[in-house]
Chain A
Amino acid sequence: MMNIRSRKNALRFFFAKVIGPLGYKFSPDAELVEFCLEQEVKLEKLHGIPYCPCKAITRDRAQNMKIVCPCIPFHREHFEAMKRCWCGLFVRKEVVDPDSLKQIPEKMIKKG
C-alpha cells in the first residue's frame, strides 16, 4: 500500500533533478512545500499524474499536460517574472523571502 509521506519524498527526489537546471529550487517555506506535495500525491492517486494543485484540470489533454508538475518549462516567461511558480512550490534560486513574491496573472505579464 502506498503511503503519502513516501510518495512525497519520491516526488521531491524527481522534481529536484528537473528544477535545478531550470534555475529554480523548492520554496524555503517548508510548510507550503509539504502542503503542495501532499495535494499532488492526492491528484496523482486520482488521475495517475501529479498535476499542479493550484490550476484546474480541463478536458483538453494538451492543456492538462502543461500543468504537470513541475510545469516551469511551459510557463517560463510567466514564472520568471514572478520568480516563482504559480503555487509557490518552486522559487528562483536567488529567492530567500518567498512571502515577498506575489502571484501575477499571466495576462498582466508583458510579453517580451
Chain B
Amino acid sequence: MLVEAAKVSDIACGGMIPVQVQGKDLIICNYNNNFFALEKRCSHMNASLDKGSLDGYILTCPLHFAQFDITTGEALSGPIPPDSQINDLKTYPVQVEGGSIQVEVS
C-alpha cells in the first residue's frame, strides 16, 4: 500500500531527508528530480545515513564512509578501514503523484 512519505517540495534536487513511514525509518533521496526510498540505517554499523552525504547517485555513510547506489541500494564500497563485509540497503518502491511522494513499505 502506498503511503505519503513527504512532499516533492520538501527535498531539493541532490538532497535527502529522513522520514518515518508505518514505523519504518527511511530516507528519501532526490536524484535529478527522481525520488528513491531506502532504509535509513547503514548495513555496516547502523549509522543514520541521512547524516551522510549524497553526491549524484552515491550515498556515503557518515560513520565509516561506506557507499551505496541509491537507485538500487547496492553497496558500492565497504567501510573504511575495510574490516568487514557490507550488505546492500533495502529499497522501497516510490511513486510521485501531484506534489506527493508515496512509498510502499509493506
Contacts and interface: CB of A to CB of B under 8 A. Distances in A.
Nearest to B72: A6
A21 interface: no
Nearest to B74: A6
Given A1-B85, A1-B88, A6-B69, A48 B80 contact: yes
Given A10-B67, A48-B82, A1 B75 contact: yes
B77 A13 contact: no
A2 B76 contact: yes
B58 A2 contact: no
- Give chain A's interface residue range (CB within 8 Å of chain B): 10 to 19
B81 interface: yes
A105 to B, nearest CB: 32
Grouping DSSP codes into helix (H, G, I), strand (E, B) and loop, the B interface class, with mixed when no group exceeds half, is loop
Contact of A10 (B77, B80, B81, B88): B77
Nearest to B86: A2
B87 A13 contact: no
B58 A7 contact: no
B58 A10 contact: yes
- Give chain B's interface residue range (CB within 8 Å of chain A): 10 to 19
A6 B82 contact: no
Interface in B63-98: 67, 69, 74-82, 85-88
Interface stretch (A27-35, A39-47, A60-68, A86-94): A39-47
Contact of A3 (B67, B74, B78): B74
Contacts of B88: 1
Contact of A45 (B56, B78, B87): B78
A2 B55 contact: no
A2 B75 contact: yes
16 contacts: A1-B75, A3-B74, A6-B69, A6-B76, A7-B76, A10-B67, A10-B69, A13-B58, A14-B55, A44-B82, A45-B82, A47-B82, A48-B78, A48-B81, A48-B82, A49-B80
Interface of A: 1-3, 6-7, 10, 13-14, 44-49
